[in-house]
């Protein structure tokens, strides 16, 4: 057995200086200086502060006018930087839960969502913890891992909405002024498709334009497998079957798998029994893609 040993040095003071009380929660360029700033949670998850990045040591420092907001009656659960009002300035979405005591382990309460509106050099803290922007079950996450969330469909440099409904897709175009989104058009689901999966946009033809790609099932079998799986592309007003061969070189058949009580998204998995696959981890690895799992 070969063992690789790596010598490491503690560079915490070079990065944070004397600031060591916070827990890093997110990253982003808050002040648009092309340096990555760090968003930290501190004071027992009751405050969030932005440490601005510098080219000289210490690399991360508190701002002269501290970019810090306190939630006295709440417990911060996540911090998500982003431009939530389209003014080209970074804002901060903060989610919290209400905790009666520090020993309170109740996780069934609703998640409160607040938006801290950002300026060029300041952060507007919320003054009313009792009035969140929205309350929800679970945690929101602003990201676009598989290109299915943020899309500009009419080339006006504004993010549009692509919505999946039980019978069709809807396109809502974004605008700078009110109303922020207006209905534009409808796309019917592919014919003979009983189950519609999570759509995404890909430049399938490599021609500089985004095509809608949707996994579908013609029928769901009693064991949860998908019969008649297909990848459909909507291009120039019509649905086209990509005619994907779901058998790999080893003869394993890929399928979409739906299980009651789990996520509604369609995933792929190799037809081999999962328990056998777990026992053969040294011979097969499970790789997660947009459409599922291959072993």
Q: Residue-wise pLDDT tens for the chain (295 aa)?
A: 444 445 556 778 888 888 878 888 999 999 999 999 999 999 999 999 999 999 999 999 999 899 999 999 889 988 989 888 878 899 999 999 876 555 555 545 788 999 999 988 899 998 788 889 888 776 555 555 554 556 788 888 888 888 888 889 999 898 888 888 899 999 999 998 888 887 888 887 777 778 888 888 888 777 767 778 888 999 888 999 988 887 777 887 777 766 554 444 544 332 333 333 333 333 333 222 333 333 3
Same domain, 130 and 200: no
Between CA 88 and CA 212 the distance in angstroms is 28
Q: Is residue 190 part of a domain?
A: no
Q: In terms of domains, do 21 and 127 share one?
A: yes
The label of the residue with tokens 């080209």 reads 88
Q: Is residue 201 part of a domain?
A: yes
What tokens appear for 223 in the block? 């064991």
Tally of helices (H runs) and strands (E runs) in the chain: 2, 24
Whether residue 129 sits in one domain with residue 206: no
Full domain range(s) for residue 73: 12-136
Number of domains in the chain: 2
Residue 84 CA: distances (Å) to CA of 90, 91, 116, 202, 271: 8, 6, 10, 25, 43
Determine the 3-state secondary structure of 49 from DSSP.
strand
> 24 with 110, same domain?
yes
Structural domain includes residue 255: yes
Q: Is residue 162 part of a domain?
A: no
Tell me whether residue 27 is in a domain.
yes
Which stretches does DSSP call E strand in 74-133?
Answer: 75-82, 91-97, 111-118, 123-124
Of 92, 115, 136, the domain-final residue:
136
Same-domain check for residues 128 and 58: yes
Among 113, 136, 159, the domain-final residue is: 136
State pTM to two decimals: 0.49
Same domain, 20 and 123: yes
Q: Does residue 35 share a domain with residue 120?
A: yes
Q: Given 111, 136, 161, which residue is the final one in a domain?
A: 136
130 and 227 together in one domain: no
Closest CA to 121 of 26, 31, 35: 31
Whether 132 and 221 map to the same domain: the answer is no
């Amino acid at each position: 057995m070969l063992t690789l040993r790596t010598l490491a040095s503690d560079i915490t003071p070079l990065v944070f200086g004397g600031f060591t009380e916070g827990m890093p929660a997110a990253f982003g360029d808050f002040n648009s200086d092309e340096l990555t700033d760090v968003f930290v949670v501190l004071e027992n998850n009751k405050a969030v502060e932005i440490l601005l990045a510098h080219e000289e040591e210490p690399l991360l420092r508190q701002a002269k006018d501290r970019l810090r907001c306190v939630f006295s009656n709440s417990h911060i659960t996540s911090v998500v930087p982003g431009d939530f009002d389209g003014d080209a300035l970074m804002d901060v979405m903060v989610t919290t839960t209400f905790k009666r005591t520090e020993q309170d382990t109740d996780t069934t309460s609703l998640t409160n969502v607040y938006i801290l509106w950002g300026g060029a050099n300041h952060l507007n803290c919320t003054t009313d913890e009792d009035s969140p922007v929205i309350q929800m079950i679970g945690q929101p996450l602003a990201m676009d891992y598989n290109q299915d969330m943020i899309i500009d469909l009419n080339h006006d440099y504004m993010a549009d909405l692509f919505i999946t409904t039980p019978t069709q897709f809807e396109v809502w175009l974004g605008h700078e002024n009110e109303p922020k989104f207006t209905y534009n058009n409808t796309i019917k689901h592919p014919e003979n498709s009983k189950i519609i999966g999570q759509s995404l946009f890909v430049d399938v033809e490599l021609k500089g334009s985004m095509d809608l790609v949707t996994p579908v099932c013609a029928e769901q079998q009693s064991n949860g497998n998908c019969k008649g799986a297909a990848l459909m592309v909507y291009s120039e007003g019509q649905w086209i079957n990509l005619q994907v061969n779901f058998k790999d070189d080893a003869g394993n058949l890929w399928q979409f798998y739906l299980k009651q009580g789990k996520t509604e998204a369609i995933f792929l998995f190799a037809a081999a029994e999962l328990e056998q696959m777990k026992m053969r981890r040294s011979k097969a690895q499970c790789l997660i893609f947009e459409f599922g799992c291959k072993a």
